């Protein structure tokens, strides 16, 4: 009913070496022809479902897939259907899935009935794939490894497919990851959440890349053990990072994909820093890999989003028309290579494995007083530090001011992580009270980045002197605004101080 599957994209330059290393020439070959169906308005895709008829070596199977609650888990119901005389493709009938968990989930998403759906669907796209497979074992895990090469077709357009899929058939997920790691390291493969059905839907819609994915709220409960809380939070962070990173790795240079990938990484690093005591996750060296990826993606943001904002404000202030954003010192890391980096991909694999792990049973936080007290203590400490630094913000160094901004972000993210424990409304009220300070600190930081950049360019770009003078004056004013906004944080309604039935 649930499939656990890793999807790894194979770069063109690595294909031959990977095929030789895996010896896929001797694997079982299957010719796959799949036809994907949805309503004209894309109702199934909108609810996270894909529905197909696939021909495998002359036999047809109908498959319904839906969200399984984790990036690597999918609800799946597959059954064989008979070919129909006079039809190239059998008629799809979604009621065949009526009694399966996937079918019941789809019925619930659509309002309770599947009866009329089959008459409303049309073929959206199709795929032609040569699949080569074999079963591999690692420890108690049995994994089906599939090397897929072929194409997706929609509305006269074609997109290539070359990927390695690992599906857990039996045993613990650890074996799945143990098999994947050496191939990722040796051949530059990267994790992707973009399924063939999603690729086809994008192609049919005339899009090159999918939409950005923003942060979600992890579903937590006081009955969960401390490690289970952290696993759910890490999984929530990965649910934001991986879809955006997948698009970046596939060639997207969209600033929103980059921004949301960075937000996801910042949220993840907050979880590991503030809640790492709940369960061991990453050692310091691997956490540094996350920091490096975050920093490299930030270089692109400075060149695009920050430069655009600062230059716009300078233009409104009367800056010379010839003023340009200074060139950075050294090489600017591009987003694609930053997320395809082997060390970064290895850490993502490790985090995914952690998010699927099943540690020994432990008491829930409801009964673990240390857990509840620890969460309150972390929230209170961050709140107190932000308020204390706000009182003396104008006296702090630029570096320390930047640390205040990062600390405020950690306070916001930690609050959002725990909203299902303390109550969504109460947490939203608190987070909303932090927003003016966050906005003021964001503007102040952008100006600081601009001031640093234009200071470097004074000797080569005369117009930069205007920017340095204006931004220096703005830094003093925005610092005072930050102090005023941060003082108000002291009055924010602290949700963790309220008494509740925990």
The stretches in the chain having pLDDT less than 70 are 1-2, 498-502
Q: How many Cα atoms are found within 13 Å in the side-chain-facing hemisphere of 392?
A: 7
For the chain, state the CA radius of gyration: 26
For the stretch 6-17, what's the b/e string if a residue is b when 16 or more beta carbons lie within 10 angstroms of its beta carbon? bbbbbeeebeee
- Whether the CB-CB separation of 422 and 220 falls below 8 Å is answered with no
- Whether the CB-CB separation of 192 and 8 falls below 8 Å is answered with yes
Q: For residue 370, which phi and psi values (nearest 5 degrees)? A: -65, -35
The whole-number pLDDT of residue 2 equals 61
Please, what is the Cα angle at 472 between 471 and 473, to 5 degrees?
90
Beta bridge partners of 166: 6, 145
- Whether the CB-CB separation of 485 and 440 falls below 8 Å is answered with yes
Q: What one-character-per-residue DSSP string does 12-50 give?
A: GGGHHHHHHHHTGGGSEEEEEEEEEEEETT-HHHHTT-E
Q: How far apart are CA 482 and CA 230, in angstroms?
A: 32
For 59, the token pair is: 């036999």
Q: How far apart are CA 430 and CA 492, in angstroms?
A: 6
The whole-number pLDDT of residue 127 equals 96
Provide the percentage of residues in the chain whose pLDDT is more than 90.
Answer: 81
Alpha helices, H only, 250-368 = 255-275, 284-301, 307-316, 335-340, 342-356
- Whether the CB-CB separation of 211 and 45 falls below 8 Å is answered with no
Q: Which of 173, 168, 358 is nearest to 279 (CA)?
A: 358
The whole-number pLDDT of residue 67 equals 84
pLDDT digits (tens, 9 = 90+) for 101-157: 999 999 999 887 888 888 889 999 999 999 999 999 999 999 999 999 999 999 999
The whole-number pLDDT of residue 88 equals 86
Report the SS3 class of residue 146: strand
pTM of the model: 0.90
The whole-number pLDDT of residue 187 equals 97
Q: How far apart are CA 176 and CA 349, in angstroms?
A: 10
pLDDT digits (tens, 9 = 90+) for 356-412: 988 788 888 888 788 999 999 999 999 999 999 999 999 999 999 999 999 999 999
Q: Can you list the pairs that 406-409 forms with residues at least 24 positions away whose Cβ atoms lie under 8 Å? A: 407/382, 408/434, 408/437, 408/438, 408/441, 408/486, 408/489, 409/266, 409/270, 409/438
Q: How far apart are CA 223 and CA 421, in angstroms?
A: 10
């Amino acid at each position: 009913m649930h499939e656990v599957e890793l999807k790894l994209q194979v770069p063109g330059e690595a294909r031959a070496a990977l095929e030789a290393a895996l010896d896929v020439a001797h694997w079982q070959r299957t010719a796959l022809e799949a036809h994907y169906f949805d309503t004209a308005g894309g109702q199934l895709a909108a609810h996270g479902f894909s529905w197909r008829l696939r021909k495998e070596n002359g036999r047809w199977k109908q498959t319904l897939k839906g969200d399984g609650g984790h990036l690597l888990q999918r609800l799946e119901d597959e059954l064989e259907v008979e070919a129909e005389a006079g039809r190239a493709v059998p008629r799809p009938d979604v009621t065949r899935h009526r009694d399966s968990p996937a079918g019941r989930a789809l019925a619930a998403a659509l309002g309770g009935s599947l009866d009329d759906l089959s008459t409303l669907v049309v073929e959206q796209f199709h795929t032609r794939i040569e699949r080569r497979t074999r079963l591999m074992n690692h420890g108690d895990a049995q994994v089906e490894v599939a090397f897929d090469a072929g194409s997706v077709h929609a509305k006269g357009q074609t997109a290539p497919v070359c990927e390695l899929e690992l599906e857990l058939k039996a045993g613990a997920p650890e074996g799945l990851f143990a098999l994947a790691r050496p191939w990722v390291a040796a051949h530059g493969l990267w994790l992707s959440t973009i399924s063939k059905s999603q690729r086809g839907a994008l192609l049919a819609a005339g899009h090159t890349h999918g939409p950005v994915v923003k942060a979600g709220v992890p579903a937590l409960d006081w009955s969960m053990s401390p490690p289970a809380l952290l696993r759910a939070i890490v999984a929530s962070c990965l649910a934001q990072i991986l879809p955006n990173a997948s698009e970046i790795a596939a060639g997207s240079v969209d600033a929103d994909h980059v921004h949301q990938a960075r937000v996801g990484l910042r949220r993840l690093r907050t979880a590991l820093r503030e809640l790492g005591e709940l369960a061991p996750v990453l050692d310091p060296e691997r956490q540094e890999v996350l920091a490096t990826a975050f920093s490299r993606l930030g270089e692109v943001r400075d060149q695009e989003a920050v430069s655009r904002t600062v230059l716009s404000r300078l233009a409104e202030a009367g800056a010379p028309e010839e003023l340009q954003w200074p060139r950075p010192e050294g090489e600017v890391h591009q987003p694609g290579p930053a997320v395809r980096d082997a060390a970064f991909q290895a850490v993502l694999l490790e985090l995914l494995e952690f998010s699927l792990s099943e540690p020994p049973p432990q008491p829930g936080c409801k009964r673990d007083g240390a857990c509840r007290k620890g969460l309150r203590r972390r929230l209170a400490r961050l709140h107190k530090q932000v308020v204390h630094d706000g009182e003396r913000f104008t006296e702090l160094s630029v570096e320390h001011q930047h640390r205040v901004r990062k600390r405020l972000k950690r306070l916001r993210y930690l609050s959002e992580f725990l909203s299902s424990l303390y109550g969504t409304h109460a947490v939203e009220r608190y987070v909303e009270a932090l927003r003016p300070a966050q906005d003021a600190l964001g503007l102040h930081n952008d100006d600081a980045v601009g001031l640093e950049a234009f200071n470097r360019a004074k000797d080569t770009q005369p117009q930069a002197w205007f920017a340095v003078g204006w931004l220096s004056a703005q830094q003093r004013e925005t610092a005072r605004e930050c102090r005023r906004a941060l003082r108000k944080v002291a009055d924010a309604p602290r949700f963790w101080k309220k008494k509740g039935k925990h």
